[in-house]
Structure 1
């Protein structure tokens, strides 16, 4: 027979366990309406400048308990019509219809171009926290690179400067992380990012064990720089588990202020060092959960009170390894 005192302890333990149970969310899947294949990393916008992403399998988590103020979702992906759904009646399988006008054009390039020389544009790396961009899932950053005149130029690798903070837990052990990124390529339209170039998105992870000058090999992607140059962008999708699966959860936290509840985007590691050592302003940014998704040059007109702009660290110091062909 269990003593009354022990019974009370057991009851309180069970109650405490229940209180700390995670909020379970319904899992939804985004698929192609024709092929029923998953639409990997589809964008799920909440219509208020916030949102989340589906994972590689097209799955994402959503519940009214987790997002009580969200009434509509806007599901989108490159090559598909945007779909608006009310959160009170979300289907478990969400079908996206292909948008013929937005389908990728076919880009034919001859890979057998003969001999080439390797040229490098070094990345600019530093370890100053206060001179670094704090990545959030709501922002995409793009950097411009010109083409070498009269020569076919293929991008073999992209060098990404990163800042790996030495954050340690109560035990003194360095905290680990694994962050999923997406890289995209854009035409140069009058000095700003224009239409998407017909290359596949590149998905990659950066961890606490990565080098501060992170080299991303994209030689198999066959990316050639157009005559007018190219914009290369990176965008954080969120943290992953140890197997590389994108973790689902809120990408912002709520802070109570005198003006009411303010939603602050969660920042992810690693940080992106910005520099003042590039002559021209070649870096653009945009908020991808807003429906117009307008690119803005990262300068004094971008936003007020930004510390990086105030100290003139307005460029992300991305670098390249190039294969420059003889003909």
Structure 2
């Protein structure tokens, strides 16, 4: 199917439903010549910004303050901008035309700047162009986790418990999913500045999209182990797990299953209280994890000096080249490529406004593994980190982070002997009771993507930051299939085709 036809079929129609609060403007943006989707296009309406996803799609929520005559502005690097009233967008697809490069007077005047001098001017103007203090930001974060098992070989050396045999271990391994995809989406207000550890998060809504049939059935596995434990292990024993690198102790009683008699009101009440406490702990953990993820992303944008992408502050450590001139909207832009001279980790391109020397966009990709080691059979290879960072002007006239996208790839290996030893200090003369000894050769891979969109940005002072108290009471809603209604009424980055078509295997079978 030709690209034009394909995207015409899958494109979400532009539609305006002027009823209540359900108005939505959705479309796909294509290159008028190649018919290919244009990713990361800036779409603005009444000083509110949106970014198209990697498939060129966007969805804009229209509130009661939006009129049909309000103008929608669309701009992207290297393309002619579009700006016209909403009611004039009547096509299913929006096409952008490439913009011819014509050197305007500003670039002609500055044409003698070297790439290094341009970056020095960017650094010199950072405080003027970007707010670097405390702020409140409405953020949407989509996390995609793709995991796969590369290898699960083992050799059973010894087992003194007949039930823990090769057949049992093979059956356990066969239940472990070989690959899985997991999506988490959150919307909230992030309070803080450039320090990733000094952040506060007000969660509004969250979802998890994954196939439960591809999860390891921990309950069934635990039941099988518990049955073996009850028949073969003394209740006052403990386990020692050894791999030559570490040793840990596990009380066998922790493996037992405690059933609550529904007629025992006191025991039932304790069980309910425990469940409630566990739920509250899950809420705290979820909020804490999301806060740290957002903080780590935000503190690492290239206009902050401690960022991993330090090319603005250490230009002498990179090979720089002025590749081209282009436009973002009506702004003339320098296109500068960078690659490391020595131990720096990233290469990429910088797009710098020729008028105010603001960094508008950075594309980056690692040149070598970010972390790689192999020691005593344990290996780690962080082999991939690539993405984009995009800035745009806010209502305060300063540039702010609009979009941050990074794809990370990791491979972990484990090739070591493992021993699980039952010990019992109450058995005279023979503390060691049973033993399971294995030689494990396993490898696991993951590709994780983080997309953060910033919709609203307000400067705040220290008093406002300290006055805000987190009261996160949100756990993600589980979705077995993509549900277009879940985020209705909220601004998010449009889901890609894979998310829209996601269906759990269990649902299909039913």
Short-chain TM bin: 0.3 to 0.5
The structure with the larger Rg is: 2
Which structure is higher in helix share?
2
TM-score using structure 2 length: 0.25
